[in-house]
Chains A and B, each alone.
Chain A
């Protein structure tokens, strides 16, 4: 029975009170006594040989405490990739070492080669300028095709190639897919670019290292989406600090979007420096450093073919993709363009043949890794753009061609041609809902009105599927993952009846502090406000894998669910003892334990108190206390899906695109807090629209980041966005997790880019311009150029 504010209740986020009143405590808000400040010297060239780094003058600058160079860390480990990919020919991927500080060579603009620690930040920054670095600029490889063709200019000399791996999915489908395409009545081909994005979380990265010489304990306070993973990487691979002597704490955080999943060299540096200097060391990224050194997103170049019958029945999808990994392998840079991308290449469709080829390429640019959506936006964009083009070529309505190929509700569970098993869904119902909410029937009339106003109106349709909460561990292990993908929760019922829930997931905008208690409160029949979520501190929480890939509620929430089930079981035992009944005769409903067929009952709060004051417990039969931990390893991904519609107006004189409407019809399974889900989708839509219209990380041919500030890198603003209509009422519950939930965090960013581009192309086509494709961002300049030949 749902208590007030339980499952399904649109409770306002409790954490927003502290965020909106300036009481959040972010990493940079923490300044322990005797803190020293760190600033980094970063490469201004994309590829360079370090001849010498003279730090003599810097070391003598006022306030300077220490200067570190790459050679100081030459003996420690490297920051590893979290997923090993095997190439088509069976060879393992290339894995060059990623050092704490660049040593011997710098490999991208922004690559840190020295660090200064000083009494004040200003002194540290001044001293960085006094470092005399003799670095010979070398030719650089920037564009991927050039990098693959060039054996003379290498990002990593020791591996002898710029290709990390050449992956085929599913390799056994290669020949059949080729045959199907060869014999198909119609083949549509499209070449497209998935534009490089710079994450730009509102709060830049920040790390504070501390060391206690009395106990030998280290403490890292840092902006991390997964503190336990960061601790594991530092302990097992980079610095070798014993895991039980290192606490990693990630407090309130102003957004991550993937960029703070990874362990970065700056974290290792402040920790090592804190030990050496015996005082806290703090580094806060500037916005410029964030542009240059945060892991970027996307950056794929793809050729996709869709083979189909003349009536639009899909026969095969085949893609060839180059995916940029930048200068070093960031922790999840190898899984993002492969298993998070290739496995989604069947979309929502019953297509029988899929083959995906991905070559990942080292270039002299910042590392590229998962960014909100991570591989699925790239897959969806390729699929939904080529489907739109095919529909146009065949003269089939874009809604109809999708419906014709949808997996039907009675086909679930459905094994897709790209290797996944979709557990539940109803794509036709989503499209039905979309047709209503977006009033597709009224489009032609709106088109006429736009034309009267001198504007070209277009309609974009898209249907997407994505995979969230990557799992299970025994499968991902076979596929090359070097970590497990479970999560964990400890539910501690305190003696006075309120509850602390320690979770492995990290909340930095997802609203866990509100949504997770709704699950617990619903199960226990208590007030959600008596449940508190504890997260982010490895000394307090069980080992969980953190927050990314829209996994928190489906995976960690399920762990919370399982731990709460254990609590109910134990509490039932205690209640039975209290009312002198057999446990099997005790029912738990609405927060009360009642003996069947009697009026004997005891409240949850009384049981909690008894658990901690067990004066009359039978010592052999009942353990004191009421605290349970569960580790939850999902049986499968969850498969959110959706149908989106976007209407745009294009100004034929300027090429400016205005988004008139955006409707997102999503299936997230059961919804714990609809208000939070709507907010998540709206945020995702804003980021997707940003990618479609505005954002672009651009390097020039020398490897200089041209869009390296918020003056040149266009983030979406309120006036770039229409009213966002979000609807998640057409739901099919996930069949394999106990709450029946799917992931919602990335959907908006996955579904919206192709919807917008489809709409722009539709507008141009209706306006008489034979334009087949425009790469994102669909800026006024690009649209105008496409219209004017």
Chain B
């Protein structure tokens, strides 16, 4: 399947570029991710637990970074093996462009395929599932970067008094 979209992120291109290659950022943003280790040069290793329809599995996979044009574009190629659940493979091309207001627009174009039990049992839902996963990832990624940016800009953020849950509801 193919998935192409873009995201506007209120953070500088340098910050977005750095974040997408930061194992810790990836770990917190990839849904179900338990562990990410490695570097851009050696590639990353990740452990992700996901449930697709009736199939729940722990995927252990490698991600390679290639076609790097510093600050502009790169390709992430990954494959994860989920034991008896099968496998997932994906290649994503990412492009980073400045927006007029100092933010970054991140374009992604991803091809993914699954095999084994995942394909047999989950094929009906795999397209929607992949889209949901991508949305969740970028949602978190964006939140994290923008929070980070807010935090950098306004130091008092952290000092805001914590509200009770009624307070949160009322904003």
| A binding-site residues for B, Cβ under 8 Å | 44-45, 109, 125, 128-129, 288, 291-292, 700, 702, 704-709, 711-712
Contact between B119 and A708, CB atoms less than 8 A apart: yes
Question: Number of contacts between A and B (CB, 8 Å)?
Answer: 48
Shortest CB–CB separation between residue B115 and chain A, in angstroms? 5
Contact between B114 and A288 (Cβ–Cβ < 8 Å)?
Answer: no
Which residue from chain A places its CB closest to the CB of B123 in the assembled complex? A706
Q: Specify which chain B residues have a CB less than 8 angstroms from the CB of A44 in the assembled complex.
A: 86-87, 115-116
A704 to B87, CA, bound (A): 11
The 10 closest A-B pairs by CB, nearest first: A708-B120, A44-B116, A704-B119, A706-B123, A129-B83, A44-B115, A709-B121, A44-B86, A704-B115, A705-B120
Q: Does B144 contact A (CB under 8 A)?
A: no
User: Contacts of A702 on B, CB cut-off 8 Å?
Assistant: 113, 115
B102 within 8 A of A: no
| Minimum distance in angstroms from B3 CB to a CB of chain A | 16
A490 to B83, CA, bound (A): 51
Find chain B residues with CB under 8 A from A704 CB.
113-116, 119-120, 123
Q: A712 contacts B84, CB within 8 Å?
A: no
Q: Is B163 an interface residue when CB atoms closer than 8 A count as contact?
A: no
CB pair A109 B84 closer than 8 Å: no
Q: Which of B83, B87, B114, B119 has the most CB of A within 10 A?
A: B119
- Nearest Cβ on chain A to B122's Cβ, whole angstroms: 9
CB distance from B54 to the nearest CB of A (A): 8
Contact sample, A vs B, 27 pairs, CB 8 Å cutoff: A44-B86, A44-B87, A44-B116, A45-B115, A109-B119, A125-B84, A129-B83, A129-B84, A288-B117, A288-B120, A288-B121, A292-B120, A700-B119, A700-B123, A704-B113, A704-B115, A704-B119, A705-B119, A706-B119, A706-B120, A708-B119, A708-B123, A709-B120, A709-B121, A711-B54, A711-B121, A712-B121
Q: Does B124 contact A (CB under 8 A)?
A: yes
Which residues does chain B contribute within 8 Å of A709, judged by CB atoms? Answer: 120-121
CA of A45 to CA of B83, assembled, Å:
13
| Contact bitstring B55-86, A, C-beta under 8 A = 1, else 0 | 00000000000000000000000000001101
In the bound assembly, the distance between CA atoms of A183 and B124 in angstroms comes to 49
Write the chain B residue with the least CB distance to A699.
Answer: B119
- In the bound assembly, the distance between CA atoms of A197 and B123 in angstroms comes to 18
Q: Which residues of chain A have C-beta atoms less than 8 A from B86's C-beta?
A: 44
A109-B115 contact given A44-B86, A128-B84, CB 8 Å threshold: yes
Which residues from B are CB-within-8-Å of A700?
119, 123
Residue of A nearest to B126 (CB): A706
Decide: B115 and A712 in contact? CB cutoff 8 A.
Answer: no
Determine the chain A residues whose CB is within 8 A of the CB of B124 once the complex forms.
711-712
- State in angstroms the CA–CA spacing of A288 and B116 once bound together: 10
CB-defined contacts of B113 to chain A, threshold 8 Å: 702, 704
Give Cα A149–Cα B114 distance, bound, in whole angstroms. Answer: 26
Distance between Cα atoms of A44 and B119 in the complex (Å): 9
B117, A712: Cβ atoms closer than 8 Å: no
Q: Which residues of B contact A707 (CB under 8 A)?
A: 123
Cα separation A492 to B83 with both chains bound (whole Å):
55
Task: A704 to B120: give the CA distance in the assembly, Å.
Answer: 7
- Most A-side CB within 10 Å, residue of B87, B120, B121, B123: B120
Candidates A109, A125, A711, A712; contact of B116 at CB < 8 Å: A109
**In the complex the two chains form, is B120's CB within 8 Å of A291's CB?**
yes
Chain A residues near B116 (CB-CB < 8 A): 44, 109, 704
Q: Which residues of B contact A712 (CB under 8 A)?
A: 120-121, 123-124
Nearest Cβ distance between residue A121 and chain B, in whole angstroms?
Answer: 13
What residues on A are CB-neighbors of B119 within 8 Å? 109, 700, 704-706, 708
> Considering only CB atoms, which chain A residue lies closest to B53 in the complex?
A711
Whole-angstrom CA separation of A704 from B113 in the bound complex: 10
- Give the complex CA separation of A109 and B120 in angstroms: 10
Most B CB within 10 A of own CB, among A129, A708, A712: A708
Expressed in whole angstroms, the minimum distance between the Cβ of A715 and any Cβ of chain B is 16
Closest to A44 in B: B116
In whole angstroms, how far apart are the Cα atoms of A125 and B84 in the complex? 9
B115 close to A708 (CB less than 8 A)? no
Please, which residues of chain B bring their CB within 8 A of the CB of A129?
83-84
A713 to chain B, nearest CB (A): 9
CA distance A291 to B124 in the complex (A): 17
Q: How far is the CB of B56 from chain A (nearest CB, A)?
A: 14
Chain A residues within an 8 Å CB radius of B121: 288, 708-709, 711-712
Residues of A within 8 A of B115 (CB): 44-45, 109, 702, 704
**Using Cβ atoms and an 8 Å threshold, which residues of chain B touch A291?**
120
Complex Cα–Cα for A709 and B83 (A): 18
Q: What chain A residues lie within 8 Å of B54 (beta carbons)?
A: 711
Nearest Cβ distance between residue B117 and chain A, in whole angstroms?
7
Per the bound structure, the CA–CA distance linking A597 and B120 in Å amounts to 76
- Residue on A with the closest CB to B121? A709
Quote the shortest CB–CB distance from B92 to chain A (angstroms): 18
Q: What separation, in Å, do the CA atoms of A708 and B54 have in the docked complex?
A: 13
Expressed in whole angstroms, the Cα–Cα distance for A129 and B84 within the complex equals: 6
A44 to B84, CA, bound (A): 9
Q: Which residue of A lies closest to B114 (CB)?
A: A704
Bound state CA distance, A146 and B107, in angstroms? 34
Distance in angstroms between the alpha carbons of A288 and B84 in the assembled complex: 11
- Kindly state the separation between the CA atoms of A467 and B84 in the bound complex, as whole angstroms: 43
CB distance from A703 to the nearest CB of B (A): 8
From residue 32 to 65 of chain B, which have CB atoms closer than 8 A to chain A?
Answer: 54
Instruction: Report B-chain residues with C-beta under 8 Å of the C-beta of A125.
Output: 84
Shortest CB distance A311–B (Å): 50
Most chain B Cβ neighbours within 10 Å, of A125, A702, A704, A709: A704
Q: How far is the CB of A641 from chain B (nearest CB, A)?
A: 39
What's the least CB distance linking A44 to chain B, in Å?
4
Contacts of B87 in A (CB 8 A): 44
Docked CA distance A683–B52 (Å): 35
In the bound complex, CA of A709 to CA of B121 (Å): 6
Residues from chain B with a CB closer than 8 A to the CB of A128 are: 84
Residues in A whose Cβ lies below 8 Å from that of B117: 288, 708
**Bound Cα distance from A734 to B124, whole angstroms:** 49
Q: Chain B contacts of A288 at CB under 8 A?
A: 117, 120-121
A501 CB to nearest chain B CB (Å): 44
Q: Which of A125, A291, A707, A709 has the most CB of B within 10 A?
A: A709
- Please, how many angstroms separate the alpha-carbon atoms of A128 and B84 in the complex? 8
Q: Which residue of A lies closest to B84 (CB)?
A: A129
**In the docked arrangement, what's the CA distance between A704 and B121, Å?**
11
User: Which B residues lie within 8 Å of A109 (CB)?
Assistant: 115-116, 119
Distance (Å) between the CB of B58 and the closest chain A CB? 10
Residues of chain B from 93 to 137 with CB closer than 8 A to chain A in the complex: 113-117, 119-121, 123-124
The docked-state distance in angstroms from the alpha carbon of A468 to that of B117 is 38
A44 to B114, CA, bound (A): 9
CA–CA, A708 and B126, complex, Å: 14
Bound-complex Cα distance A128 to B119 (A): 19
| Bound form: Cα–Cα A109–B113 in Å | 14
User: How far, in Å, is A675 (CB) from chain B's closest CB?
Assistant: 39
| Residues of the A chain whose Cβ atoms lie less than 8 Å from the Cβ of B83 | 129
Q: With A and B bound together, what is the CA distance between A702 and B1 in angstroms?
A: 11
Shortest A52–chain B CB gap in Å is: 15
| B141–chain A nearest beta-carbon distance, Å | 29
Provide the bound-state CA to CA distance between A712 and B115, in Å. 16
Report the minimum CB–CB distance from A71 to chain B (whole Å).
23
Whole-angstrom CA separation of A711 from B55 in the bound complex: 13
Q: Give bound CA distance, A705 to B123, whole Å.
A: 9
Measured between C-beta atoms, what is the minimum distance from A710 to chain B in Å?
10
Residue of A nearest to B116 (CB): A44
Residues of chain B contacted by A708 (CB below 8 angstroms): 117, 119-121, 123
Separation of A712 and B120 alpha carbons in the complex (Å): 8
Q: How far is the CB of A444 from chain B (nearest CB, A)?
A: 41
Residues on A with beta carbons closer than 8 Å to the beta carbon of B123 = 700, 704, 706-708, 712
Which residues of B are found within 8 Å of A711, using beta-carbon distances? 54, 121, 124
Residue of B nearest to A709 (CB): B121
Looking across the interface, which residue of chain B has its beta carbon closest to that of A704?
A: B119
Instruction: Give chain B nearest CB distance to A39 CB in angstroms.
Output: 10
Q: How far is the CA of A109 from the CA of B84 in the complex (A)?
A: 13
* Complex contacts, A45 vs chain B, CB 8 Å: 115
